[in-house]
Amino acid sequence: MLRVDKNQLIKFRFAFTNSGSFYDPLNEATPVDMYASIVRGQNSVGDIVLSAVSVINSSYRIIEIEEPISIVDEKISVTLTFDIAHHLSVGDVIAVYGVGGGYDKDYTITAVSSNAVTAITSATSLPNLDDFDDSKHIARATRKSDDGIYFIRISESEYNFYYRVPENMFSGLYTLVIQTFFNDRPQTIEHLFQVSPDQLEKVGTVSKFVVSNGNITFTTTQDHGLSVGDFINLSEINSLIDGNYYIKEIKDEKNFIITSSVSISNQESFVFGYYKKINSSGVSGTLSGPTSGTKIVQRPIYDELEYHTTNSILLLGHADGININEITKINSIQEATNLLGANTLSPLLRGVYDAYSCGARNIYIMAVAPMSEYVDNVDMRLTDMAFLVSEETAAQVNFYEKYFERLQQSYAIAKNYEFIDLIVPLETSIIGTGDVNFIAQLALYCYDFNELTGYIQMGIIGSKTNGVKDSDIDLLEAKSVFRNKFTTYTTSGTVESDIGRFIIPIYGELNFNHTGFNSSYTTSAAAAFAGAMSSNPVYQGMIRKRIIGAYSLYGSNLSKESFARLDNLGINTVYRSRKAMRGNPYEVYVSNDYTMADPNSSLRKAPQVRLAAMVINEIKHIANNGIGTNSQDKVVVESRKVLEALVSARVINDYDLQVYGSKIEKGYIKMDISLVSSLGLKNVNFSVTSGRMA
């Protein structure tokens, strides 16, 4: 099995056969596309990590070549004309293949027009077009992207597929699936590979670095013990430098050199940073996969829609035991306890127990800050402290200011993870945080995530005010964000932006006493609400739902007037039931499931947003993996099946689906969808764009 490390470029070589002979699907009388996708696990049974990449849609067919007439400084310039408009830019590196006669190599683009590029490459002799046939589809150009996702034809029937393992990819088994069709029957090749975990072997400190023409020399405080080719991680040095690298050169026992992957000006700086040697399992920077794969029988292209499975939750908070800003999948409560050192004071460990006790079964965690920065006493959280120092100003700050700064860094990493449905920043608060606005920070993150990925991630934020009390209502009513939400309007009065639809505010604190904890504790209801909602069917709301993991409310009983005022603000509130007031069990309920959308919006309630998120997720998976001829028709048929299934399950009462395919950008599909939810009469309207160019 191929064993790889994060950030490595893998080269998979493959070819298809028919009746014992190799053939090129693109070179058939009617060209047939080829597709590559990557799934988690073995034999294509896991989640899709890389949606289907098409040879045709990820490259451009060359229909005309303007031959070079001379060689200048050992370089030639050629003009390539494509059959469609392109998205290439000056400076892009493209690989040309399938032309022959000396043209098949890498080029750097120097000029562009709507459907043609001029590019240069090194040459010692002029190429020829003797083998070029503009009627065929094999002569193509593809951009060599930084993520390494592209195909190159290397012979009359063989191709290489390149893929760079992302830095944020979890360790474990993955399967590359390459598929085509022969006489409308699928042919599939699979390559199994394993991503190694980051195993930190050696940690040291860096005192200085010198940048010179792209090479960076680091000086260590002690003998580094590194060798050329070692894979290392650099941190807390410089935002442009921090990351993983291979050692290029060893100057002496306290100086080593790496090559930067970004442009950095020449400089010399004294720092206090860290380097860690990562066990790279003896593999090189560029790997080649096996030359043949295993044929498999027919398999589903996308997962079946199941309405009762739990949403995935990402909990963010203070903890020790795991690296800062690394997302970790929790496989069991015991695993979480072990990872976080069984520290029952850790908000992150408490959050895991809270979410799990309320029904969550798909939990991820991210340590935003170490426990040394945690302040448990709410009354002290607005006091500047010597151990809390801002990275931006180097000044002492309070707990909430430091946590806000930490969360900014964590959110920047978390938005790359499309499989998270709910995100919960623990120990933040909708009230009593001074000038720090955690609500706006979370709303902007969720909006950026939606803009970046097209998927929906909902943020759940609670409160920490030393218990429920009527006096908090005045403070909440004074906050403009609850009166005006995040809604902006055009000059004509129509809604222009409404990013509050991604946020669910929860007021109130709960008492928990989990098995294995030495004592009970009080915390925000955010993680518990997330756990309850994650296991609640999408066609059911959370109005007056019991929070089963909590045994009591912390604070006083609110008056009916206070409940009404909170409801007018669109704030969901936890409360005791009448049963709890008479003794055990101390049952706790949540009043509603409002989002912070405009009060007149169809996305005012969380179930409507969850419904839209579920449909978007399913249809994007269908569209991204629609393969073969007439793929748009197949996408429409499968999408209608999903919506019909929702109608049959009474999740929705009716729907309308309009699909648009671009004649200019291959692989691009737009769908306008209108749903009539079973929970309300208002239509839920949204659009989905998908495909390689979306």
pLDDT digits (tens, 9 = 90+) for 317-354: 999 888 899 898 888 887 888 888 888 899 999 999 99
Confidence of residue 591 (pLDDT cuts 50, 70, 90): very high
Q: Which of 106, 121, 148 finishes a domain?
A: 148
Residue-level pLDDT at 147: 75
**pLDDT, tens only, 454-507:** 788 999 999 999 888 888 999 999 998 888 887 776 676 665 678 888 999 999
Sequence-separated (6 or more) residues with CB below 8 Å from residue 616: 454, 455, 456, 686, 688
pLDDT band at 200 (very low <50, low <70, confident <90, very high): very low
pLDDT at residue 284, as a whole number = 36
Per this entry, what is the length of the chain? 694
Determine the pLDDT at residue 584. 44
CA-closest candidate to residue 274, choices 223, 201, 204, 198:
204
Kindly state the tokens that stand for 601: 């919006």
Is 236 inside a domain boundary?
yes
19 Cβ neighbours under 8 A, 6+ residues apart = none
Which stretch, 423-437, 583-597, 678-692, has highest mean pLDDT? Answer: 423-437
Percentage of the chain surpassing pLDDT 90? 39
Residue 409 host element (H or E)? helix 399-414
514, 490: one domain: yes
Q: Could you tell me which residues come within 8 angstroms of residue 584 by beta carbon, excluding any fewer than 6 positions away?
A: none
State pLDDT tens for residues 603-612. 888 888 888 8
Domain membership flag for residue 217: yes
Residue 273 lies inside a defined structural domain of this protein: yes
Identify whether residues 641 and 545 lie together within a single domain: no
Cα dihedral sign for 200, 202, 205, 206?
negative
Across the strands, what pairs with 111?
118
pLDDT score for 297 = 30
Judged against a pLDDT cut of 80, whether residue 573 lies above it is answered with yes
Determine, yes or no, domain membership for 598.
Answer: no
Q: What is the pLDDT of residue 334?
A: 79
The residue among 304, 311, 302 whose CA lies nearest residue 611 is 311
Percent of the chain whose pLDDT exceeds 70: 85
Q: Based on the number of CB atoms within 10 Å of its own CB, is 624 exposed (0-12), middle (13-18) or buried (19 or more)?
A: buried
| 159 located within any domain | no
pLDDT at 440: 93
**Cα separation, 381 vs 402, whole angstroms:** 10
Domains of the chain: total: 4
Average of pLDDT values for 13-22? 84
- Give the domain CATH number at 634: 3.30.360
Query: Domain end: 590, 622, 647, which one?
Result: 590
Under the banding of pLDDT at 50, 70 and 90, the label for residue 286 is: very low
Residue 381: is its pLDDT beyond 90?
yes
Same structural domain for residues 242 and 368?
Answer: no
Is the model's pLDDT at 91 over the cut of 80? Answer: yes
345 and 376 Cβ atoms separated by less than 8 Å: yes
Phi, psi of 425 (to 5 degrees): -80, 100
Q: pTM of the prediction?
A: 0.57
> Which range, 121-130, 203-212, 408-417, 666-675, is most confident?
121-130
Q: What is the CATH number of the domain that holds 342?
A: 3.40.50.11780
Residue 334 CA: distances (Å) to CA of 22, 321, 535, 609:
51, 14, 21, 33
CB atoms inside a 10 Å sphere around CB 97 = 22
The label of the residue with tokens 């098995």 reads: 515
> How many CB atoms neighbour CB 625 within 10 A?
21
Given this model, what pLDDT does residue 630 score?
Answer: 55
Q: Are 223 and 332 contained in the same domain?
A: no
Residues 383-405 have a mean pLDDT of 93
Has residue 114 got a pLDDT over 90? yes
pLDDT digits (tens, 9 = 90+) for 406-450: 999 999 999 888 778 899 999 999 999 999 999 999 999 999 988
Residues 430 and 572 both lie in one domain:
yes
Domain boundary among 563, 590, 617: 590
Same domain for 622 and 570? no
Beta strands 21-23; 9-18: pairing state: antiparallel
Same domain, 365 and 410: yes
| d(C-alpha 354, C-alpha 689), whole Å | 36
Whether residues 569 and 633 share a domain: the answer is no
Which tokens is 146 given?
Answer: 């930084």
Strand partners, 117: 80, 112
Q: What is the pLDDT of residue 110?
A: 97
Is residue 649 in a domain? yes
Least confident of 29-38, 131-140, 577-586: 577-586
- CA dist 623 and 636 (Å) reads 9
pLDDT bucket at 690, cuts 50 / 70 / 90: low
- The better pLDDT of the pair 563, 577 is held by 563
Instruction: Give residue-wise pLDDT tens across range 293-320.
Output: 333 233 222 223 333 346 889 999 999 8
**Contact partners, residue 418, CB within 8 Å, separation at least 6:** 453, 455
In the prediction, which pLDDT does 302 show?
Answer: 24
CATH of the domain at 89: 2.40.30.270
Q: Give the model's pLDDT for residue 643.
A: 85
Do 662 and 586 share a structural domain?
A: no
Element of type H or E holding 349: helix 347-357
Each as own residue / partner, the long-range contacts of residues 221-225 (CB below 8 Å, 24 or more positions apart, any chain) are 221/254, 222/254, 223/253, 223/254, 224/253, 224/254, 224/256, 224/275, 225/253
Average model confidence (pLDDT) across the chain: 83
Higher per-residue pLDDT: 551 or 262: 551
Q: Are residues 466 and 330 in the same domain?
A: yes
pLDDT at 691: 54
Both 321 and 404 in a single domain? yes
Residue 179 covered by a domain: no
pLDDT tens by residue, 214-251: 899 999 988 888 888 787 888 888 878 888 888 889 99
Q: Classify residue 290: in a domain, yes or no.
A: no
Give the dihedral of Cα atoms 368, 371, 372, 377; nearest 10 deg.
Answer: 110
Residues 403-428: b if buried by 16+ CB within 10 A, e if exposed: bbbbbeebbeebbebbbbbbbbbbbb
Domain check: are 624 and 519 in the same one?
Answer: no
What is the per-residue pLDDT for 667?
59
Q: What is the domain range of residue 242?
A: 200-278
